[in-house]
Structure 1
Amino acid sequence: MVLKVDVPSDLVAGDVDEGYGAVADAFRRNFAQRGEIGAACAVYRDGRKVVDLWGGYRDGIARAPWRSDTMVNVFSTTKGVASLALALAHSRGLLDYDQPVAAYWPQFAQAGKADVTVRQLLSHQAGLCAIDQPLSLADLADLDVVAQALAAQRPAWAPGKRHGYHAISLGWYEGELLRRVDPKSRSLGRFFAEEIAGPLGLHFHIGLPDDTDPQRLARIHGFKPAEMLGHLNAMPWRFVAGFLNPRSITARSFANPKVLAEADNYNLAQVRRLELPAANGTGEARAVAQLYGAVASEESKLGLAMSTLAALTRPARPPSGGLRDMVLGVDSVFSLGYIKPFPRFRFGGSEERAFGTPGAGGSFGFADPQTGIGFAYTMNRMGFHLWDDPRELALRDALYRTVLGERSQRPS
């Protein structure tokens, strides 16, 4: 059962610039009214930090306070961070989104994948969401073992015809593709650390270093998969039914290895230290917001070419068979490693140039070049929404509707 904790008001801290008080008010209400345990929210606008909030407990059981430098696993919010590593490679001419993946990784052409493009792979259209070869945590630490399993996988549908959320596998495919095109053959975690996090001074890791101070880490307070049955008003019933059926493509997309199917297991040191570029990035909310803010404000120090930014902000190219997600069981819209705005998930300004990724339990980070916004929300109490967690939505809506005078962020 999800932990419930009363958080004293004096454990909510941080700063906002003048005019952004509505975001701080919403953040405080999350603790008073929405069951928040520990969380952080940061916003950058035009490359400048305007919101930096944190509060509650980084460990609700031990009652250890969330500090300004607390880092937490952000689950699939990691996908957007990782995909910026691929975007940087694109900007440097190391890959082309419309070339076949096999042009860079010849072994990938096995099992009917010779014509799968980088765009299709990054947009969850390749049918490679579930990996048939059983993998252990030890296997995941060996990139060559993982690459062999990925290359041998047969697509679950004709690539480009359907799409389905590549919940864990997307990060592995991105990592191996990057390792193939990077002149130094670096893993995605190492590439991110050396080319993005280091130069920008970000406290965010894809693969947590063993020497990380444990006092900086928040504990995830998750739920057992069966508890989703009590929240069908928030979680799509098709997704829940699939997740609980071990033979379904949904369950197989989240549970190889099986330990990854339960959120609490992401507290384990042996999981934290792995590079799971789709699922286990650990860092500060301000790091995610700063990174997206650097993209949204077109800052030169990130090094993204204008052609790359244009590709990220364009509308998605949906699969020919429609928007129904074969894994999530609802309509979804993906492009180049990101979710794009659509009627059921309205984020960013009205021009819909925004792109980002939400994470299991409620976290979310995105860039919105229309308004120059980089936004991030992180938390340790898992919620039951695929996106638009009420806590995150309250913050984002306060920012856009009240502060910026833009459209409501609530679904149409």
Structure 2
Amino acid sequence: MDFAFDARTEELRARLLAFMDEHVYPAEAVAEEQRAELASPWDTPAVVEELKAEARRQGLWNLFLPDAEYGAGLTNLQYAPLAEITGRSPHLAPTALNCAAPDTGNMEVLAQFGTDEQKKQWLEPLLAGEIRSAFAMTEPEVASSDATNITTHIERDGDEYVVTGRKWYISGAMNPDCKIFIVMGKTDPDGADIRRQQSMVLVPRDTPGVTVKRAMQVFGYEDHSHGGHAEVVFDHARVPVSNLVGEEGGGFAIAQARLGPGRIHHCMRLIGMAERAIELMCRRAVSRTAFGKALAQQGVVQNWIADARVTVEQLRLLVLKTAWLMDTVGNKGAHTEIQSIKIATPRAVVGILDRAIQLHGAGGVSQDFPLAELYASARTLMLADGPDEVHQRSLARRELKKYL
């Protein structure tokens, strides 16, 4: 593995770093001020649309999508350092570049499994940043860490599918620009193969029977910038059979194909969150005095900063190795590494953010610094895309199999 970034990556990194300094960081406070004046907190502040237009003008658009027909055509290894940069402002930068979850995963699904009609109706406006989308998988009534548990029914009735079920923590669903749901449910609940019981269908938001019931909070945050996390009820919502994604019984496999890139994208951005936390720690440490000397001269603070730097360098190398493997041997060949980064990265970044909050004292848990919101996001990623324990279980089984 070559540890140097290639010429295209270096060029995009330079442009993206400049874009962050000149446009994104100054827009963070502006977005919050504008949001307070909106008719609905879920509406998009004007500055976000301005950022999107500027990013597109600069060619910093759809960088996540490796398919050159639809995206930038970057490899995972090329995209990794770019996603890390956007993670420094995770509630603004990914959206500005049209690289925000859950739209990224949904666009990947449509690009890989969608019909020509589905691509024209939904993928094209998503690629253009004209609409948003949501992925409806997690349910409140079952342990959704085991995707075979889902209870939402997708029943065929002539030329239509009837969707009935209750989902929650459906990211992006509160945003009025969210126009389409990719819904996972069971078309064959009694099938012998539990991994062939599920299917995915496209359900437009305005379909009769679809109710976005409420916003779900995360540590008290409603995450307006990402369009929230909603509870959504599907009460006999009817869609054409042509809205099936892929094939009947293919939902579990599509979910796995979707979640692999999603997991590494989250880890890339998490490293950016950690880098911003280290920067804030250092700035705080050199600017505050306690017990007669700067915090930067206190041994415990120096240990926190040193440990954070070592941790980030370790995580970055593991994420880059995983990206390289995904590019060279495919997602299945990188399965161990994908699970490893999913376990290690959120846990470690939560620890770094916790120290950064401690160093900032009361300010660390306040709205005056981004640390508390970053902490909530990082801690949530120990659950999202599969909780740590599920990945640990799978990874341990793979290791033990060598000795059985």
Which protein is richer in helix relative to its size? Answer: 2
Larger radius of gyration: 2
Determine which structure has greater relative contact order: mean sequence separation of CA pairs < 8 Å that are 6+ residues apart, divided by chain length. Answer: 1
TM-score scaled to structure 2, two decimals? 0.29
